[in-house]
A = this chain, B = another copy of it.
Amino acid sequence: MYQAILDHIRKYVVLTQEEEELLCQNLEYKKHPKKEFLLEAGKICNRKLNEQIIHFAIENWWIADQDSLMTGQPSACTIQAIEETEVLLLPEKNKADLFRQVPVLETYFALIMRKAFVAAQRRLGYIFNMTDEERFRHFSSLFPEFMQRVPQYMLASYLGFTPQFMSRLRAKKN
């Protein structure tokens, strides 16, 4: 697990062995059974809203409610394990000190945030410029294995479809 994150970070920046150890000391290893909540939405909202899938996170991905971390407000989001999941958590409170000791990690996280921003912008572009069916085909072509891995109703929600509409698209494809 620690090896996997170091391999991943090495794709972007160079860390000394001492810096790698500092990073690992600041990470918390957690294991979550399927369906367990990693983050539960704050109790601000009393209404039972429709569940909307905003993101998936697979191997080597970071996931967090950046909105809540940035504003300090309780999260309106829930993060749930849809498979048995191992995570390495970098607590927000550790970041400032860690970045001071290992500045290159700030460079790494800035790159990751830039990638996430570009992905969000692309997704907005797909929503505005593609039909629902084009968006489905595009996503299927980019992530064929992932399409098989997650519950279909979650994928439908992520893409902004009803499960019924997605079933029809899948049927057309086969």
Contacts and interface: CB of A to CB of B under 8 A. Distances in A.
A138 interface: no
Interface residues of A, number: 29
Given A110-B106, A110-B110, A124 B67 contact: no
Given A110-B110, A128-B160, A67 B122 contact: yes
Nearest to A128: B52
Contacts of A50: 129
**Which secondary structure dominates chain A's binding surface?**
helix
A109 B54 CA distance: 25
Contacts of A114: 66, 70, 113
B106 A54 contact: no
Contact of A115 (B70, B107, B129): B70
A87 B127 CA distance: 30
Question: Copy number of this protein in the oligomer?
Answer: 2
A27 interface: no
Contacts of A123: 124
A162 interface: no
Contacts of A116: 117
Contacts of A107: 99, 106
A67 B123 CA distance: 12
13 contacts: A49-B129, A66-B117, A70-B118, A99-B107, A103-B103, A106-B110, A109-B110, A110-B113, A113-B113, A113-B117, A120-B120, A120-B121, A120-B124
